[in-house]
Chains A and B, each alone.
Chain A
Amino acid sequence: MSPIRRGEDQPIHNRLRVLRAEHGMSRGQLAQAVEVNPQTIGALERGDHYPSLDLAFRLCEVFGLPVEAVFNREPFAPLSNQIYHQGEQS
């Protein structure tokens, strides 16, 4: 849920599920790493909850990525597509 008071609700897309899978982490492990409950990781992945800036930074630290690589206003394209098309271009 967006924390704004009023106005248009702008979505925050994230790549948590795919990053978690890539690192072979369960929700519980990621939750333990950022000190939240596993249900909160599930809510983030489903888009039911938008993280605070603090939690967003913690999550990015776990994966060693900048915030924009994990969270974005625009939907993320599938990683496989990106990699495949990169290969085609080079």
Chain B
Amino acid sequence: MSRMHQAWAEALQRGEQRRHRMAQRLPSWRTRPRRRALVALWLPVPLALIVLTLTLDWDNPVTSLVYLAVLAVWYPFWLVLRVLTTASAEAIVALLDEREVEVRNRLSFVSLSVLSTANLLIVFYLIFNHDDPLIAIRTAYLLIACILLAASVPTALLAWRMPDDDPEDLENPDRPADRAGNDEGGISA
């Protein structure tokens, strides 16, 4: 095995271990109502960033600090949502199985749509406000807000859709099954 292949295999193993650890974190938060509550709390943050960018006076040096403060609120929300979704919406394909890849692809499409629409709106904003002397700085911050929104949409959507974690999914595979299913029939799809 070449050094590159070995390094890749090690990186994948580390990634799998990281996801496994993530799946064990915040067990009491891994329920649908809590995930949804967190998404509902997260959503106003990127929207606030967009509104602030469009309304604040960018000549004032405090403005950037206000923007950074809101940005600082966005980051922990996104981190917790990533933990609660085991980063399935953002992990590389090699770390996911076929179901997760299917879900990730659907979410990525939504993210791409959000980003494309936001970019188009920003282009129109630039065209209609080309004589604004602060348009460059305002658009730069607007782009950051839109990129952050699009980047976190897959994780937020997944968190919204995910059902409660099933404790049986978190059982240690190295331990023999301690509960035998008693359904005799097949499972309806």
A61 to B177, CA, bound (A): 19
How many residues in B have their beta carbons less than 8 Å from beta carbons of A?
Answer: 27
Type the 1/0 row for B156-178, where 1 means its CB is closer than 8 Å to any CB of A.
00000000001011111101111
Given the known inter-chain contacts A20-B181, A27-B171, please indicate yes or no for A13 contacting B97, CB distance below 8 A.
Answer: no
Name which of A14, A27, A39, A52 has the most chain B CB atoms within 10 A of its CB: A39
Q: Is the interface of B mostly helix, strand, loop or mixed?
A: loop
A47 to B178, CA, bound (A): 23
Q: Which of A24, A45, A52 is in CB contact (< 8 Å) with B177?
A: A24
Are A75 and B186 in contact, CB atoms less than 8 angstroms apart? Answer: yes
30 contacts between A and B (CB under 8 A): A1-B102, A13-B186, A14-B186, A17-B181, A17-B183, A17-B187, A18-B181, A18-B186, A21-B181, A21-B182, A24-B176, A24-B177, A26-B173, A27-B168, A28-B173, A35-B97, A38-B170, A40-B97, A40-B98, A42-B166, A42-B168, A42-B169, A47-B187, A47-B188, A52-B98, A75-B186, A76-B186, A77-B185, A78-B185, A79-B185
Q: Which 10 A-B pairs have the closest CB atoms?
A: A76-B186, A28-B173, A47-B189, A78-B184, A21-B181, A36-B97, A11-B189, A26-B177, A38-B169, A13-B186
Which residues of A are at the interface with B, using a C-beta cutoff of 8 A?
A: 1, 11-18, 20-21, 24-29, 31-32, 35-43, 45-47, 49-52, 54-55, 72, 75-81
